[in-house]
């Protein structure tokens, strides 16, 4: 079993030393010890954009890899190129191996992985801890085939597995996901393990030693209301997250066009405040400059990727005016003021409310980059559905 008490003790010691344990009651989890996702994973996944449409193919994936490099997104931290459902043929071959869809991937999956690796990026694949995947066409799932599938993926150069929950035959989730954890470990290849069981069996209570992240809710879609409801569910689970084992509120919709840029900035900021995996799900080959400005905001990404690995928690949320606090490794504190409501509102908090010592502190607005100072009050006029986020030094 790839888990170590030492890793967990080190993590707990770091939290105690920083005073965080007392503040947020972090759970001393026995983290999966594959050395991966010490900060939340960042990259691209096609699902929110293509689902199983015919545009999901080799040329598309190569184009995404090229664009991650050419737009600077790779340098901003997005390193995984992940393929979701519908990459396989509907049947295994005579030896029981999964077979790549010949139309979408005529040169196979390894050729695509090699291309992605040649760009200095990492490569991810998808399957389900069931007899079939989630798409109604029903591609073969991994249940009962864990060792064979993991070995095949490792031979292709897979660096990341998203493992879904469809067609699970009612079998115990922890057993199903643990079987694949052990199969991945047995390959000897470091493979980031992303559990996708939609929060159905409260994975936050058992999956820290099984996977590197676990979905906490059903699927996101490109709407403010769905993004908001997922935020409200995921923000409550902060004590279960930490380096190597993260809550996953699902992939980003930034750039898909049905939310405003103000709403996408909120989506991105809230995900970063929650130490969420940041997986781009829009067509970056055609991204607007507004979309790229959001996805490349290094100051907001730094909150997500902060080495302390403490998920932000809500200080207050009265009347849809949310104050979220995230302590950072260098002693700074991030504070986000999120206006859930349909009209502009003033949102206020104080240094003491966010746990910062008295004295004069400087504030940087991480979207406008404006700097200011405060001896106590922190507030902003926040537009409808908008978020202002400060780094307090
Ligand atoms: C489920 C998952 C999604 C996506 C689809 C693919 O709905 O939650 O993220 O992977 O399956 O079919």
**Which sequence spans correspond to the domains of the chain?**
1-28, 42-304, 313-392
Tell me the best of 82, 132, 164 to mutate to test the pocket of ligand 1, counting ligand atoms within 8 Å of each CB and taking the most: 164
Interval between CA 164 and ligand 1 midpoint (Å): 7
Tell me the best of 138, 217, 219 to mutate to test the pocket of ligand 1, counting ligand atoms within 8 Å of each CB and taking the most: 219
pLDDT at res. 3: 43
The confidence band for 11, taking pLDDT boundaries of 50, 70 and 90, is very low
**Token digits for 9?**
């003790």
Distance CA(123)–CA(64), nearest Å, equals 12
pLDDT at res. 30: 67
Tell me the best of 46, 84, 88 to mutate to test the pocket of ligand 1, counting ligand atoms within 8 Å of each CB and taking the most: 84
42-304 belongs to CATH 3.20.20.70: yes
Distance CA(148)–CA(128), nearest Å, equals 14
Which is the catalytic residue, given 101, 149, 164, 248? Answer: 164
Measured by CA distance, the residue closest to atom 5 of ligand 1 is 134
Q: State if pTM tops 0.85.
A: yes
Cα dist from 172 to 69, 131, 169, 211, 218, whole Å:
41, 14, 9, 16, 19
Report the nearest atom of ligand 1 relative to the CA of 84. 10
More confident residue, 199 or 8: 199
Q: Which distant-in-sequence residues (6+ apart) come within 8 Å of 285 by Cβ?
A: 63, 64, 67
Interval between CA 217 and ligand 1 midpoint (Å): 11
Report the nearest atom of ligand 1 relative to the CA of 215. 8
Which is the catalytic residue, given 66, 114, 182, 219? Answer: 219
Tell me the best of 86, 196, 279 to mutate to test the pocket of ligand 1, counting ligand atoms within 8 Å of each CB and taking the most: 196
Q: Which residues line ligand 1 (CB under 6 A)?
A: 47, 84-85, 133-135, 164, 196, 219
Whether residue 210 has pLDDT greater than 60: yes
Interval between CA 331 and ligand 1 midpoint (Å): 38
- Sign of dihedral through CA atoms 143, 144, 149, 150? positive
Q: 234 φ, ψ to 5°?
A: -75, -30
Whether residue 8 has pLDDT greater than 80: no
Average pLDDT over residues 60-78: 98
Percent of the chain scored above 70 by pLDDT?
92
Whether residue 43 has pLDDT greater than 50: yes
Q: What is the CA radius of gyration of the chain?
A: 21
Residues 273-323: pLDDT tens digits?
999 999 999 999 999 999 999 999 999 999 999 999 999 999 999 999 999
234 close to 249: Cβ distance less than 8 angstroms: yes
Cα dihedral 325, 309, 391, 220 in deg (nearest 10): -70
Interval between CA 2 and ligand 1 midpoint (Å): 27
Interval between CA 134 and ligand 1 midpoint (Å): 6
Whether residue 76 has pLDDT greater than 80: yes
- Sign of dihedral through CA atoms 214, 248, 34, 61? positive
Counting every residue, how long is the chain?
393
**CATH code assigned to 313-392:** 2.60.40.1180
Whether residue 15 has pLDDT greater than 50: no
Interval between CA 45 and ligand 1 midpoint (Å): 11
Report the nearest atom of ligand 1 relative to the CA of 133. 12
Distance CA(154)–CA(388), nearest Å, equals 43
Distance CA(356)–CA(273), nearest Å, equals 17
Report the nearest atom of ligand 1 relative to the CA of 219. 8
Average pLDDT over residues 83-112: 98
Measured by CA distance, the residue closest to atom 9 of ligand 1 is 219
In the annotation, is 164 catalytic?
A: yes
Average pLDDT over residues 117-141: 97
pLDDT at res. 31: 79
How confident is the prediction for the chain on average, in pLDDT?
A: 94
Report the nearest atom of ligand 1 relative to the CA of 162. 10
Q: Which helix (H) or strand (E) holds 313?
A: strand 313-316
Q: Which distant-in-sequence residues (6+ apart) come within 8 Å of 391 by Cβ?
A: 299, 303, 328, 332, 333, 334, 363, 364, 366
Report the nearest atom of ligand 1 relative to the CA of 134. 12
In the annotation, is 250 catalytic?
A: no
Interval between CA 196 and ligand 1 midpoint (Å): 8
Distance CA(233)–CA(322), nearest Å, equals 14
Cβ count near 154 (within 10 Å)? 18
Residues 320-337: pLDDT tens digits?
999 999 999 999 999 999
Interval between CA 375 and ligand 1 midpoint (Å): 47
């Amino acid at each position: 079993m790839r888990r170590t008490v030492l890793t967990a003790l080190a993590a707990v010691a770091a939290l105690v030393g920083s005073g965080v344990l007392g503040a947020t009651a972090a759970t001393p989890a026995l983290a999966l010890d594959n050395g991966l996702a010490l900060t939340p994973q960042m990259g691209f996944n096609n699902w929110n954009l293509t689902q199983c449409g015919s545009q999901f193919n080799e040329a598309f994936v190569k184009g995404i890899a090229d664009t991650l490099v050419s737009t600077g997104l790779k340098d901003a931290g997005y390193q995984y190129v992940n393929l979701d459902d519908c990459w396989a043929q509907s049947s295994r071959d005579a030896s029981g191996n999964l077979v790549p869809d010949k139309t979408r991937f005529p040169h196979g999956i390894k050729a695509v992985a090699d291309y992605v690796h040649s760009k200095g990026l990492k490569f991810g694949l998808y399957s389900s801890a069931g007899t079939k995947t989630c798409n109604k066409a029903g591609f073969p799932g991994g249940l009962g085939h864990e060792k064979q599938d993991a070995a095949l993926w490792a031979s292709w150069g897979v660096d990341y597995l998203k493992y879904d929950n469809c067609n699970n035959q009612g079998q115990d989730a922890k057993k199903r996901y643990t079987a694949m954890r052990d199969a991945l470990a047995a390959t000897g290849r470091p493979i980031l393990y992303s559990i996708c069981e939609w929060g159905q069996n409260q994975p936050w209570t058992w999956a820290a030693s099984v996977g590197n992240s676990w979905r906490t809710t059903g699927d996101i879609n490109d709407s403010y209301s769905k993004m908001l409801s997922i935020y409200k569910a995921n923000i409550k689970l902060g004590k279960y997250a930490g380096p190597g084992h993260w809550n996953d509120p699902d992939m980003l919709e930034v750039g898909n066009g049905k939310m405003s840029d103000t709403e996408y900035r909120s989506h991105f900021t809230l995900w970063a405040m929650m130490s969420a995996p940041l997986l781009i799900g829009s067509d970056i080959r055609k991204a607007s400059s507004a979309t790229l400005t959001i996805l490349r905001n290094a100051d907001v990404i730094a909150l997500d990727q902060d080495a302390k690995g403490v998920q932000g928690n809500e200080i207050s949320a009265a009347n849809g005016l949310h104050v979220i606090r995230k302590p950072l490794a260098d002693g700074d504190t991030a504070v986000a003021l999120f206006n859930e409501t349909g009209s502009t509102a003033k949102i206020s908090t104080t240094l003491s409310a966010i746990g910062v010592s008295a004295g004069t502190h400087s504030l940087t607005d991480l979207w406008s980059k404006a700097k200011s100072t405060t001896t106590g009050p922190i507030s902003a006029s926040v537009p409808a559905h908008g978020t202002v986020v400060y780094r307090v030094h």
